[in-house]
Amino acid sequence: MIKKAVIPAAGMGTRFLPATKAQPKEMLPIIDTPVIQYVIQECVDSGIEDILIISGKGKRSIEDHFDRNFELEAMIIKKEDEEIYTQLRHIENMANIHYIRQKELNGLGDAIYHARYHCGNEPFAVLLGDTIIDSVIPVTQQLIDTFEQYKQTIIAVETVPPEKVFRYGIVGGETISNKLLQIGEMVEKPEINKAPSNLAIAGRYILTPEIFPALEKTQKGKGNEIQLTDALRLLLKKENMIAQTIEGKRHDIGNKLDFLKTTIEFALKRKEFSEPLMHFLKEITGPSKPGSSIG
């Protein structure tokens, strides 16, 4: 049983400046819901309610978002807006959320190392706080199902085009089934000619507690940071690991273009927005009418 999840959310969000100068990238909204709320929802939908967020400088609004706000509630009650009131109460009660601060930004591996006391001797899920995966079955649940069967570290992956390989942790290995691969090697952000494949680590993991001693031994790697991929590589010498191709669509919210696309895609799925938004998109992208101009 996987009962705990860790969400690293301490990063500076430099790819999204200036929007992230004074607000966490995890709080950027896709329409009206902060990215991290989608991530927490994925945990909850996967049966996990004990969540540790690795927080850091400038991230306090994440805590406020999941906390109760009596003043706001009182105001909403006065306005008799039942729908919003229900939503607010839902957010406050979604999960049991704990926080720990990563004081120095020493990389994803170091962030996960901060979870060692919280996770103790249990396997746990990791969900990157800036990645939403839209799927029928929550991706964390997909990984948990495989973990229950194999009792090994499970790493979510997806195929990326060769020109994007250098941005990801890349795994290689032997096919077990059309979705599963027994990992033989992995490398963080390789050059394309050194990559074992084009299967990229997709921001979701089921880790065993053995990752903590491995992290302890891991030296700084790419970007002069302690990389989770490097610790996993060390552990791979002792333990088997599986890569699982995700069934779902990954949205990297730290990337501006992805953020825009995600916003449009999610809005088109909301019944109050789909029709007027589609109409608007057709209007601004359709064949230009004589005498009209954009912008």
Contacting residues toward ligand G1P, per CB under 6 A: 108, 128, 131, 168-169, 188, 200-201, 203, 227-229, 252
For residues 257 and 286, give the distance between their C-alpha atoms in angstroms, rounded to a whole number.
Answer: 21
Burial 182-196 (b: 16+ CB within 10 A, else e): ebeebbbbbeeeebb
State in angstroms the smallest separation of the CB of 127 from ligand G1P: 11
Cβ neighbours of residue 112 closer than 8 Å, sequence gap 6 or more: 6, 8, 54, 126, 207, 211, 215, 228, 231
Question: Closer CB to ligand G1P, residue 57 or residue 68?
Answer: 57
Taking the least distance from each CB to ligand G1P, the nearer of 233 and 267 is 233
* 228 within 8 A of 127, measured Cβ to Cβ: no
Rounded to a whole number of angstroms, the minimum distance from the CB of residue 243 to ligand G1P is 11
Residue number of the CB closest to ligand G1P reads: 169
Minimum CB distance to ligand G1P smaller for 247 or for 252:
252
Strand 169-175 and strand 180-188: pairing?
antiparallel
**What is the sign of the dihedral through the CA atoms of 204, 268, 27 and 97?**
negative
5 vs 125: CA distance, rounded Å: 4
Least Å distance, CB 119 to ligand G1P, is 19
200 close to 158: Cβ distance less than 8 angstroms: yes
- Nearer of residues 205 and 267 to ligand G1P, judged by Cβ: 205
The answer to whether the CB of 129 falls within 8 A of the CB of 37 is no
Q: Which two tokens stand for residue 267?
A: 């809005």
| C-alpha–C-alpha distance, residues 273 and 266, integer Å | 9
Closest to ligand G1P by CB, 91 vs 110, is 110
Closest distance to ligand G1P from the beta carbon of 131 (Å) = 6
The least CB distance from residue 204 to ligand G1P, in Å, is 9
Q: Give kind and range of the element (H or E) at residue 188.
A: strand 180-188
- What tokens appear for 2 in the block? 């996987």
CB of 44 to ligand G1P, least distance (A): 22
Nearer to ligand G1P, 97 or 200 (CB): 200
Cis peptide before 290 (omega within 30 of 0): no
Whole-number Å distance between alpha carbons of 227 and 58: 23
**Least distance to ligand G1P from the beta carbon of 242, Å?**
16
168/259 with CB nearer ligand G1P: 168
